[in-house]
């Protein structure tokens, strides 16, 4: 058996009738599905003995969880190269280029980020899963956080829900942005009758976006955008809804000229607690070449009497 993934010492204030299942579900906020998988694979040990979910826990008990075993397909054909910025035994941080789909779909069977990551690990003789903590649209570039096991994914997903993960994007939008900072709290739902589009609607899911102005020119503005929630197309929908669509966005744009071949959106900063140690990790990915070239063009086009600021 591999090295333990998590080790808990049961706290002094636990109930006399709390069992292993209740401890993992209640105290540690594990999902029902994850607890079932750990139990089915016999990865839960209590005081160095295999544990049953109904076994009672007492103060001072040692509860140990081992990594889950995962059955993975062999990834060879069509697996792309992946730019890895950081890797340890639990996770990777990668810089996704524009044009790369994260998961295989009917329309994109090969060349996906997941295939590239699986091939990378398999080339090292590592049979581990890949679990995306954050996902980017095909034509959005930047940082993607990936875990190698469901336990790490569970903890990082919980960290996002608790507001302990910073996800910042750089965006270039059409128009002269009006204010230094702005909060957008506009609920989002799937647009009826459209397979991809989302829309603002009072009955939609809660969606909150914070926007900070970095630089603005007469024709376009450069923004830093933080996600407080993670709805599909959230940044694109929010900015378009208030009249500042992303440059190059064919789905939510206004049909203006297209000086870049994708939406000008880049996930440039990730800050999160490590799922095992709790240590804060911070990563940045610089503005990619096509967006840097776009912004340089915007600056050059500004008239002398209407300079960027």
**From 61, 137, 139, 290, active-site residue:** 137
Structure tokens at 275: 């799922």
- Up-side HSE of residue 38: CA atoms within 13 Å toward CB? 29
Distances (CA, A) of 64 to 15, 104, 111: 19, 35, 38
**Nearest CA-CA partner of 138 in 166, 106, 113:** 113
Going by C-beta distance under 8 Å and a sequence separation of 6 or more, which residues neighbour residue 148?
89, 90, 91, 92, 121, 126, 128, 129, 130, 131
DSSP character string of 192-247? TT-SS-EEE-TTSB--EEEEEEEEE-SSEEEEEEEESS--TTHHHHHHHHTT-PBT
Distance CA 299, CA 288 (A): 17
Structure tokens at 46: 């209590």
Residue 77 among the catalytic residues: no
Q: How far is CA 194 from the centre of its chain?
A: 25
Say if CB 173 and CB 243 are below 8 A apart.
no
What are the catalytic residues? 137
């Amino acid at each position: 058996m591999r090295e333990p993934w998590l080790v808990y010492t049961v706290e002094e204030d636990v109930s006399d009738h709390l069992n292993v299942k209740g401890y993992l579900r209640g105290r540690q906020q594990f999902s029902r599905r994850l607890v079932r998988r750990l139990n089915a694979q016999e990865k839960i040990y209590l005081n160095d003995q295999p544990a049953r979910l109904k076994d009672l826990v007492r103060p001072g008990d040692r509860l140990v969880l081992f990594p889950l075993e995962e059955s993975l397909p062999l990834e060879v054909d069509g697996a792309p190269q992946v730019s890895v910025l950081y890797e340890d035994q639990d996770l990777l941080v990668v810089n996704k280029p524009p044009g790369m789909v994260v998961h295989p779909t009917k329309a994109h069977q090969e060349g996906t980020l997941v295939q590239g990551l699986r091939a990378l690990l398999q080339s090292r003789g590592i049979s581990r899963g890949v679990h995306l903590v954050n996902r980017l649209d095909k034509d959005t570039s930047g940082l993607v956080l990936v875990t190698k096991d469901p336990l790490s994914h569970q903890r990082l997903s919980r960290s996002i829900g608790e507001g302990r993960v910073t996800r910042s994007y750089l965006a270039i939008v059409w128009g002269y942005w009006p204010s230094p900072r702005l909060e957008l709290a506009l609920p989002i739902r799937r647009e009826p009758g459209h397979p991809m589009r989302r829309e603002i609607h009072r009955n939609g899911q809660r969606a909150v976006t914070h926007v900070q102005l970095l630089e603005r020119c007469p024709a376009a503005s450069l923004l830093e955008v933080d996600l407080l929630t993670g709805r599909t197309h959230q940044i694109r929908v929010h900015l378009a809804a208030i009249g500042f669509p992303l440059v190059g966005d064919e789905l939510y744009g206004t049909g203006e000229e297209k000086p870049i071949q994708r939406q000008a959106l880049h996930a440039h900063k990730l800050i999160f607690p490590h799922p095992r140690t709790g240590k804060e990790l911070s990563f940045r990915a610089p503005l990619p070449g096509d967006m840097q070239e776009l912004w340089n063009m915007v600056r050059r086009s500004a008239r002398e009497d209407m300079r960027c600021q």
